[in-house]
Each structure stands twice: as C-alpha cells, then as structure tokens.
Structure 1
Amino acid sequence: MDYRWLIFFTALLFQPPPTLPAVQTRARYDVVRNISEVEQGSFGRAGLSHATLAGALLHGLKEVKSFQLSLWSLRHNTVAPGSGTPIHRHSCEEIFVVLKGSGTLYIAPSNPDQDHPGTPQEYPIFANSTFHVAGGVVHQVRNTNEHEDLQCIVAISKPPMKVFMYKDWFHATQCCQNGISHVLG
C-alpha cells in the first residue's frame, strides 16, 4: 500500500486554515452587521434616533446606481416615550414594521391643503404591526406609550428625500434638504 496519500492527507488535516477576508458586498459593506454597532443619527430631535441599515443612504444620501438597493433605504428608528417624528411630508414612500412598543400614526385627511394639513386621522400602532405611507402624504409617528421605546424598521423609497415640515397640523413649516427648516405660518 502506498502511504504517500496518507501522509499528504494528514498534512492537509493539520495545516492552518487560510486567512479569508471579511465577507463583503460589492459596495464594500459587511453582509452581516450588528445593529447596535451601526452609527445612530437623530435629525437634531430629542427622543428620536435612526440607523441606516441598507440602501442608498449608506452612501451619504446619494443614489448609487451600481448598488441594487439604491432605490430603497432601510432604517432602524427608535422613538422615546412621548416623542415622535415631526409632522411632515416628502415624495418618498415609507413602509414601517413595528418591532417593539406602541404609539400612534397620524395621517392628514385625503386631499389636504398642503400648507395647512388639518385635523389628522389617528391609527394605533403596536409590536408586529405594519403600515404604509404613500409619497406626498402629511404624517407623523408618535410614541404615546409612557413606559417603552417605540422601535421600527422603515423602508424608504427613492432617497434622498426633500422634507416639508409643519409646526403643527394647522401651520406650515417648509424644510429643505439637510434638515434646515423655515417657519411659514
């Protein structure tokens, strides 16, 4: 019997494993990431934080045509008790999945005056619920739970977005890109 094959396979068995580079996508982002290690932003608003998980927003709010998710971005939002997003509208479509907590989704009535959206319709949101906000719809998400953060995954179409914010449901505030707002009413 030829023992050379046995020696060869034994040498392979005890050989150290090759050093492999980290698994990355073609856009040089790790395939698997820990959400708690992703940089958080707040839009300058107390009680509201977000982390972009995937898509064009990872590229500095610029659409990257070579990256397949450039038409959508995926975010993880956390809203502290009593806090919420501003009352706003934008051309982007949003799809929310509530992971934890509860709150209220406020939507302007159909065919609102874009400068003064009027009294909103209220919808309770809760863990494992999902909802869709079409582009151009005035809306707000608030954490109305006094005891627990509201956490959502949000898919956003066509970033970057130009946001128009409102002081309240009856006065307009126009906001241009980069979060600089100008009170109109």
Structure 2
Amino acid sequence: MKYSAGIVSKSFWFLESRKTARYIIEGLKRQDIIELAVKENIYQVESEYRARRMASSIYQRLKSLPEDVLKLLVEADSETSRIIVLISIMKTDRLFFEFMHEVFRTKIITGDHILEDRDLNIFFEEKRIQSATVDKWVDSTIKRLKSEYIRMLREAGLLRYKGDKREILKPFIDSAAKKRLMKEDMAPYFSTLAGRV
C-alpha cells in the first residue's frame, strides 16, 4: 500500500460506518450502497458527489475487516465500535497505521501519555526522509495530516485535551471483543492500540 494524504478529505464517519456495516452484513455490495447514498441520502449530505465518495470510502474501509469484526462494529458498545472504525482506517491508510504504530503505541508502552507537536513533527520529518512521496508533499498538506490524525484519535476516544495538553487514552475493550479482535490479521492493529510489543 502506498503512502497517501487522502485522509485529509475524509472523516471518521462513525455513525455512517455503523450504518454501512449493517448494509454490508445484509449482503449489499458497493454499488448498492452508493445508490442508497445517492437516491435516499442515507448519509444526509448536500451533494451527490459527496454521497458517492463517502459511500465508496466507508465501504473500502469496512471491507478490510473480517466479517465477525464487521458484526462486532454493529453490535458492540460505542467505545468498542469507535476502535473498530479506527482499525478500519489503519488497515486502509499505511501512513496512519505507521503513525499509530510508531507514535501512539510507543507512547502507551513508555507511559508518556502526552501527544506533543514535536511527536507529530518528528514522525513526519522521518517519513519525508524515508519516502520520496511524502517528501514531495507541501507543508500545508503535512499540517492538515497532523490535524486530521489528532481529530481521528479524538473521535475514536483515544485522545482528550487536558488543559492545553493532548492526553492519549488507552482503549478499554471488553474481553469478548478483544478475543475477536485478536484473530486473523487483526492482531497487529489491536496490539498497536493496546501498546503491546
């Protein structure tokens, strides 16, 4: 998977993801969901273009999840479901996954639960050195990515503001959900969020 800055034009889309997961479980395909998004405005957006784009992006994220995890997204409590949406983003966005693995996971492991600007700056500077693609991005793109990563963590319930500091919160997931998330190809993503080595 290539590096992409596409996340800046997308959102967390928690409620929309749950709704779309239900449709996928019912057997609807990408095109069916896009048609629903356009004809019935299931995401309640202003333009047909936005409806199509949301449906396609959410579908792509959710199809990266095993079926039992998709069902968990629909059935679980809000906190667990938000973590699953975040995992779907991690599975479909290489740069975001690397941020979560290299920065978020390290913060959990070391017990340094404050996400500082310098953490984001160092991460993106290292990526610029490692990748010609990232190195070509203008500063405003990097700035938007930093903001989007912070927003994603907040919407997932993994970051809160404590005064002027951004505090990282370790996710709490019940044991039944944890077992389902530790199966198959989900373990690296769950381990990243849990701060496991």
Range of TM-score over shorter length: under 0.3
Query: Greater share of helix residues, 1 or 2?
Result: 2
TM-score by length of 2: 0.26
Query: Greater share of strand residues, 1 or 2?
Result: 1
TM-score by length of 1: 0.27
Over alpha carbons, which structure has the higher Rg? 1
The higher relative CO (CA closer than 8 Å, separation ≥ 6) is in 2
